[in-house]
Amino acid sequence: MSEQDRKRLEVINTQSSKRGLRGKVNAKCCECIYDPMAAGSGSWRKQVEACTSYDCPLYTVRPVSEKGDKPLDKGKIIDS
Ligand code: SF4
């Protein structure tokens, strides 16, 4: 297992072991998009926050920082 995979799996396991759905959603988003070796892309949360897969069923409930952008309104994206 590469160092990249090990770090990624560590975050996924930490999140998925949390109680409730929040940790499971976080873990799924990490599994989907997080690359611990992506230079300049920031933490797992920053990378998930930057997700642009508006059609993903988890998009509106993906983890975002409190200071970060709110999940985008799909209607506004489609209309603009
Ligand atoms: S919201 Fe984005 S990061 Fe999360 S599972 Fe969907 S596509 Fe992946």
Distances from the Cα of 2 to the Cα of 6, 22, 33, 37, angstroms? 6, 27, 17, 11
CA-to-CA distance for 16 and 71, rounded, in angstroms? 22
Residue with the nearest Cα to atom 4 of ligand 1? 29
Between CA 18 and CA 9 the distance in angstroms is 14
Q: pLDDT of 16-41, one tens digit each?
A: 999 999 999 999 999 999 999 998 88
DSSP alpha helix (H) spans, 1-80: 3-16, 21-33, 44-49, 74-79
- pLDDT confidence of residue 70: 54
Amino acid at the residue 80: S
Instruction: Decide whether any atom of ligand 1 lies within 6 Å of the 51 Cβ.
Output: yes
Model confidence, pTM:
0.82
Compute, in angstroms, the gap from residue 2 CA to the centroid of ligand 1. 23
* Tens-digit pLDDT profile for residues 57-77: 999 999 998 765 555 444 443
pLDDT score, position 16: 97
